[in-house]
Chain A
Amino acid sequence: MNVLAKTSAKELGGESDLRRAVDEVAECTSLLPLRSNLFEISFQAPEIARRAQPGEFAQIWVERSHIPLLRRPFSFSRADREAGVVSFYLGAVGEGSRRLRGFAPGDRAQILGPLGQGFTLPDRPGRSALVSGGLGAAPFPLLAERLGEMGEEMVWLNGARVRAELYPDELIPAGLTEVLQFTEDGSQGRTGRVTAGLSPLLKEVDRVYACGPNPMLGAVADLIEESASAGAGTPRLEVSIEAPMGCGFGTCLGCAIPLLPAAGGKEPVVGLCCRQGPVLRGCSLDWESLLRQPAHLG
């Protein structure tokens, strides 16, 4: 049993993610309405923009009211260090995101970040596949930008159920070798799921970064495992996952995620999405438990 081992004082004594977080009152600089209920919102938050890494997230306090009560966790979609601006790609699906959708330039929110652990950037450039489903595209513009700066070759498999939920072409950053679109109904790009596009790439890429609904992530993990057992290439898999989050910094214990036991251990480990995640190695997750969980209803 290794409950809370990762949030113990030992780790905090060393290098702590939490010490990198700052809480900035941030002015909205732009709100870009996109298809359906999607939008991109940007804030002037210079310290956070300077520190944000791909896959990390911020907790946005939409307004100092009791409804909604909690901050909302969102991955950074972009972080412009020079302009001091951070951007988030959102759907207006809940109380918090709906209020953010009503923001205009000049409106203020309080942003705490960066939080969590982001994607690992490679030591030297190689080839990556970025796999997104729906809103799971959110962290990839920043990831693609930072990987591109290193000279990484990247294919982005950008999927959604329908065209209206697809991350829009015009926001995809330059520098990608290829962008493949997938919709389940064929309303844009190829008909089908991103996993269909990933299979043939597995023997060519060093890394797969994935973000989207849990079933999609599970399918990606399965593909890589099958590829490994067939001796057809085993890229390193990193996934960004979601969990209902109260605080975002490890005290409420709300965002429990099932991890596999560490080497030598037998019992599964409870991790926290906000501290051990939101980005995790594919091989560290207990997929069976994760996929058994009901979709986030909160």
Chain B
Amino acid sequence: MSAAGPAFDPRVGLGRGLILANPIGVASGTFGFGFEAAALAGISHLGAIFSKGTTRLAREGNQPPRIAETAAGMLNSIGLQNPGVEVVARDYAPQWAEWPVPVLVNVAGADISEYVAVVQRLDGVSGVAGLELNISCPNIAHGLDFATEPGAAARCVAAVRSVTELPLVVKLSPNVTDIAEVARAVEDAGADAVSAVNTYLGMKVALSSRRPVLPGLGAGGLSGPAIKPLALAAVVRVRRAVAIPVIGIGGIASTSDALEFLVAGADAVQVGTANFTNPQASREIVAGSLAYAEQHGLRRFADLRWQELDYPGAPETGATSD
């Protein structure tokens, strides 16, 4: 660090006073409720934890097989297995309250009343730092509906917004014609930030048995490095559509992956599938990102952003904020 320049500040804000110590979080569905990783690899390095999708009542999830590896990726059809919001609020949140990392609870539901009920139970609970509205789980019936129609997405977000002051992130589905339109709709409805993207619908076929590997019609959510280029393109589109913070997700497995999303307009990122293979992935990425910032004399991670990117609230090209 040069003596003349101001110190590097790794923090990023997600709205309503929620400040992350750094922009590296872990994605819902890849980190449980944090306890396994806390035992295995530690959590204190993280900017944020996004919990497993939580519904009003416990869900058993889908029939196996639930996962299938693909080229540089994996398909999952877990079906939102979770213990229900009561267990999360009563048993998990008090432990999160002792953690040095904010935990945002990923909230899922089959209809608006379920989203509202889950959020009402979590509102005001110590240890719940915020919410991530999962309007785009591809693995339950109707789970895609809210994310694919801007009007429905907005109604869901507005309903939740009306019952909580918690920071509200809305997780967007890439399985739509125009992700930017949905992003604008949820911003207008009161979202504090958006995360993009959830998994891409995909399928794997077993030639040996001449059927899909996953049950039912064989579809699951594709994640992992295979989707990174798709996710980057989606993040740029979302960034250009909204002024609120954007959290980039999709195949981030290394420091450069994470920083590329910041270039593409993300304010923060989530490490997902990489957590399965490498429990140290997020730690390595945090350390690598901080090292990069120091080597390149950044003042904030936002300095990485593609300078010519035009978006609502963007600084004049060439101007530096401060």
Interface residues in chain A, defined as those with a beta carbon under 8 Å from any beta carbon in chain B = 1, 3-5, 7-10, 12, 16, 18-19, 21, 23, 61, 66-71, 95, 112, 243-247, 249-257, 270, 293-294, 296-298
Contact = CB atoms under 8 A, between A and B. Distances in A.
A67 B95 CA distance: 37
Interface stretch (B9-17, B62-70, B147-155, B230-238): B62-70
A246 B74 contact: yes
Indicate the member of A61, A67, A245 with the most B CB atoms within 10 Å. Answer: A67
A69 B64 contact: no
B292 interface: no
B71 A67 contact: yes
Contacts of A23: 279-280
A3 B81 contact: yes
Nearest to B72: A66
B106 interface: no
B69 A254 contact: no
Contacts of B70: 69
A260 to B, nearest CB: 14
A68 B83 CA distance: 31
Main SS at interface, chain A: loop
Contacts of A296: 65
Contacts, number: 146
B69 A298 contact: yes
Contact of A293 (B64, B72, B92): B64
B65 A247 contact: no
Interface of B: 29-33, 35-40, 52, 58-74, 76, 78, 81-84, 87, 91-92, 95, 204, 206, 208-209, 211, 213, 224-226, 253, 273, 275-280
A232 to B, nearest CB: 34
Given A12-B36, A256-B61, A298-B65, 12 more contacts: A3-B60, A3-B84, A4-B87, A66-B224, A67-B72, A247-B276, A252-B67, A253-B29, A253-B66, A254-B76, A256-B62, A297-B65
A23 B41 CA distance: 10
A249 B279 contact: yes
Contact of B225 (A21, A69, A246, A298): A69
Given A244-B65, A298-B213, A249 B60 contact: no
B82 A3 contact: yes
B60 A244 contact: no
Contact of B63 (A67, A247, A250, A293): A293
A23 to B, nearest CB: 7
A61 B253 CA distance: 14
A257 B82 CA distance: 15
Contact of A69 (B62, B84, B273): B273
A253 B81 contact: yes
Contacts of A12: 35-36, 38-39
Contacts of A247: 275-277
Given A5-B83, A9-B95, A69-B72, A18 B78 contact: no
Given A18-B39, A67-B72, A250-B36, A3 B59 contact: yes
B203 to A, nearest CB: 12
Contacts of B39: 12, 16, 18-19
B36 A251 contact: yes
A16 B37 CA distance: 12
- Nearest 3 pairs between A and B by C-beta? A254-B67, A66-B72, A247-B276
